[in-house]
Amino acid sequence: MSELEREQVESKVRAVIGQTFGLSPTETAGELRMGDPAAWDSMGHMQLIVGLEEACNWSCPGHQIAELVDVPTIVDAICNPSN
């Protein structure tokens, strides 16, 4: 996957996080990880995963859910679905 495609995925991931947790564009652009924003808690985490699956046409394997706690890890998982 090219750097450009990866940036597009990151942009989509940030948009879904913003939409899921009701963040402003400024907040969405910052560092985001589970627990910060506060709404990214246990319920929020699964809402986010489902939202990302729909938006990115991607299926998250169960064993990966616990690892996807920040933007770079999520982008990696979507860009390298076989990992």
Partner 1 sequence: MGNPSEFPHSVPLGLVIPAELVGDVVGKLHYVSEQLAGFRISDSRDTVQFRLKPGQEAQRALVTERLREVATKLCRSYRSWGDKVLVSRPREQFACQEDPHPALEREGQIFRYGNGRYGLGPHMVALVEAFDRQFLRTVESFSPEAHQFPSIIGGDILSRCRYIKSFPHSLSLVHHLREDLEAIQGFAEQAEWGGDHLHVKPDSLAPPETLLSPTVCFHCYAWLADSKQTRPRIITARGKCFRFESGNLRGLERLWDFSMRELIFVGPKEFVLEQRQKVIDASTQLLDRWNLSYEIKTATDPFFIDDFSQQSSFQRAFDLKFEVRAALPYKPGGSVAIGSFNIHQDFFGRSFSIGTIDGQPLHTGCVGFGLERVALALVAQHGLDPAGWPPGVREDISR
Residues making contact with partner 1 (CB under 8 A): 35, 38, 41-43, 45-47, 49-50, 61-63, 65-66
The CA distance from 1 to 69, in Å, is 22
Distance of CA 15 to the CA centre of its chain: 9
Minimum distance of partner 1 from residue 21's CB (angstroms):
14
Omega within 30 of 0 (cis) for the link into 81? no
Contact status, residue 20 vs residue 68, Cβ threshold 8 Å: no
CA dist 60 and 74 (Å) reads: 10
4 or 38: CB nearest partner 1: 38
Nearer to partner 1, 6 or 47 (CB): 47
CB of 1 to partner 1, least distance (A): 25
CB of 51 to partner 1, least distance (A): 11
